[in-house]
Amino acid sequence: MNKLNKINGFDGVKGPVLTIVMDGVGLAPNTVSNAVATAYTPTLDMLMANYPMVSLKAHGTAVGLPSDDDMGNSEVGHNALGAGQVFAQGAKLVSNSIESGKMFASSTWCELVANAKSNNSTLHFLGLFSDGNVHSHIDHLKAMVKQAKVEGINRVRIHILIDGRDVGETSALDYILPFEEFMSELRSPDFDVCIASGGGRMKVTMDRYEADWSMVELGWKTHVLGEGRQFASAEEAVKAYREEYHVIDQDLPPFVIAKDGEAVGTVNDGDSVIFFNFRGDRSIEISKAFDTPAGEFDKFDRVRYPKVVYAGMLEYDGDLHIPSKFLVNPPEITNTMSEYLANTGVRQFAMSETQKFGHVTYFWNGNKSGKFSEELETYVEIPSDVVPFEQRPWMKCAEITDRLIEELEKGEYRYYRVNFPNGDMVGHTGSLAATLCSMEALDLQLARILAVVDKLGGVVLITADHGNADEMYEMDKKTAQPKAGKDGKFKAKTSHTLNPVPCIIYDNTDAKNAYKVKADNGSFGLSNVAATMVNLMGYEAPDMWDESIIEF
């Protein structure tokens, strides 16, 4: 059993030890694009000016992604925060599996292909349609479509979830048009391939944490049943919806591609279906809809439940084994912070609202759903509002703080972790005004928490998992200023950023005299947080973890 050893000569901070994750709050130059810097945040300003702070890398290879051109995300960010180590993540695992040929030699791929061939049926691909590399990558889809033709599949249908969140907010046609050319080059009398349905990722299919099952129901009706407004092509649908609804890509309504009034790609008995997202949080619910037998599914009326072979790109939940079939083994994340603390007998408390609850539990614990100790760990979920986040940018930060203060004052736990989703979820809307409000609401809560921590003689490490609110407009790399369009207006940016994130240690206790924060040389990443937290509790970090940012 992995346990932590005490530090000789340092018993740790006497009061509570707390990690606050300000989701989506990065460090960037102070421009009009930076909602973090320009919002009225006296508490955060005070912390950055008066307390030890280092910057943490939160993207690319520092969180296990293939290259430093890849934006970080909440999943890999919380994996690194909770594991204290960097593991190769979804995108890299999938790319390696495709390049090596392992995916196409896997028993799951072989079963999917054999099923479609033996039934002379359709192989369906469903997933996020972009190269954002956060949930999926279009190159993975292309590789599988090519392989399907090589292996003698006769009919392929693509169901596209349009992005506009991890990529440009109105970039859908930049992916659709080249993909149409890609398909036309592959198409032959023996290989029928086309886009069959679609919709914006925040409208259909990609709900998470069971916040809004109606999104999944709408996706089921669109992709499986072929119900919905019909168009001759995805290009036509996108252009029509933009003209009619004036929304960005992630909010486009669902559409069905039809010929002579009939949907071209419903899912039927005998078909094979691949959900090609590699990230887990927005893949679990649609996987449950496909994988749960008739009579056992109660989230919505599926109307028709086709008998298919269904597989995910990865196993999205390793404990619950969702889905039952998958193409690439997920990273095996071991020796996490929560496991070590539980084995050492340290009581832990984790909390967020629905939108990020899984991040301080499932992802923090190495993609594991359960607790390491029912006795020592408590998880609290504050239900999120099911409304557009720009309409309530404060989200549930006050309610989270209310409960956190209540628990801190009870004094039943040694370690607390909490996620405030505001900077990320509101940042994704592209609304600068709303994101400024979200940051100001969060700042008010930080002030409340710090006052209680001081009273209790505790310490807080305040950080983030990646950037988002720090760049609300598309930026010009040469000038480091927002890009202006032909109309002179700045173009909203809804994706994460490549910027580092802050890591501030707030400690007004006598314990701060026993350690010092190391110099910020640009080498620290999110994986350095776990060792820092256990050091502050008076424990040595395990050898396999990345180093602490404090030293004695």
Backbone Cα Rg of the chain: 24
Please enumerate in sequence order all residues whose Cβ is within 8 A of that of 256, keeping only pairs 6 or more positions apart, or say none.
196, 197, 222, 226, 227, 228, 229, 230, 231, 263
The active-site residue out of 74, 106, 338, 527 is: 74
- Respond yes or no on whether the N-terminal peptide bond of residue 323 is cis (omega within 30° of 0): yes
Predicted confidence at residue 402, as pLDDT, reads: 98
Cβ density class 434-454: b for 16+ within 10 Å, e for less? bbbbbbbbbbebbebbbebbb
Please report how many Cα atoms fall inside a 13 Å half-sphere around the Cα of residue 240, on the Cβ side: 14
Do residues 501 and 81 lie in contact, with contact meaning Cβ atoms separated by under 8 Å? no
pLDDT in tens for each of the 552 residues of the chain?
A: 789 999 999 999 999 999 999 999 999 999 999 999 999 999 999 999 999 999 999 999 999 987 788 889 898 999 999 999 999 888 889 999 999 999 999 999 999 999 999 999 999 999 999 999 989 999 999 999 999 999 999 999 999 999 999 999 999 999 999 999 999 999 999 999 999 999 999 999 999 878 899 999 999 999 999 999 999 999 999 999 999 999 999 999 999 999 999 999 999 999 999 999 998 889 999 999 999 999 999 999 999 999 999 999 998 876 678 999 999 987 789 999 999 999 999 999 999 999 999 999 999 999 998 999 999 999 999 999 999 999 999 999 999 999 999 999 999 999 999 999 999 999 999 999 999 999 999 999 999 999 999 999 999 999 999 999 999 998 887 788 888 877 778 989 988 999 999 999 999 999 999 999 999 999 999 999 999 999 999 999 999 999 999 999
User: SS3 for 68?
Assistant: coil
CA distances from 411 to 15, 16, 129, 482 (A): 8, 8, 47, 46
Q: Please confirm, yes or no, whether 548 is among the known catalytic residues.
A: no
Predicted confidence at residue 46, as pLDDT, reads: 98
Please enumerate in sequence order all residues whose Cβ is within 8 A of that of 404, keeping only pairs 6 or more positions apart, or say none.
351, 416, 418, 449
Instruction: For 68-215, list the strands marked E by DSSP.
Output: 122-129, 155-162, 192-200
CA dihedral 524, 371, 389, 59 (to 10 degrees): 20
Predicted confidence at residue 279, as pLDDT, reads: 87
Predicted confidence at residue 519, as pLDDT, reads: 96
Residue 77, token pair as written in the block: 């960010």
Predicted confidence at residue 158, as pLDDT, reads: 98
Closest CA relative to residue 159, chosen from 306, 257, 250, 270 = 257
Instruction: For 302-449, list the strands marked E by DSSP.
Output: 309-314, 326-328, 348-353, 377-382, 415-420
Average of per-residue pLDDT values in the chain: 95
Write phi, then psi, for 118 (nearest 5 degrees): -70, -30
Task: Give the helix/strand (H/E) hosting 217.
Answer: helix 213-219
Q: Where are the alpha helices (DSSP H) in 411-501?
A: 422-425, 432-456
Predicted confidence at residue 270, as pLDDT, reads: 98
Task: Give the helix/strand (H/E) hosting 262.
Answer: strand 262-263
Residue with tokens 């506009």: 164
CA dihedral 78, 79, 85, 86 (to 10 degrees): -110
Domains and CATH numbers, the chain: 17-88+332-486+500-551 (3.40.720.10), 91-328 (3.40.1450.10)
Predicted confidence at residue 319, as pLDDT, reads: 60
Residue 486, token pair as written in the block: 């032909």
The model's pTM: 0.76
Q: What is the pLDDT of residues 217-242, one digit of tens each?
A: 999 999 999 999 999 999 999 999 99
Task: Give the helix/strand (H/E) hosting 290.
Answer: helix 284-291
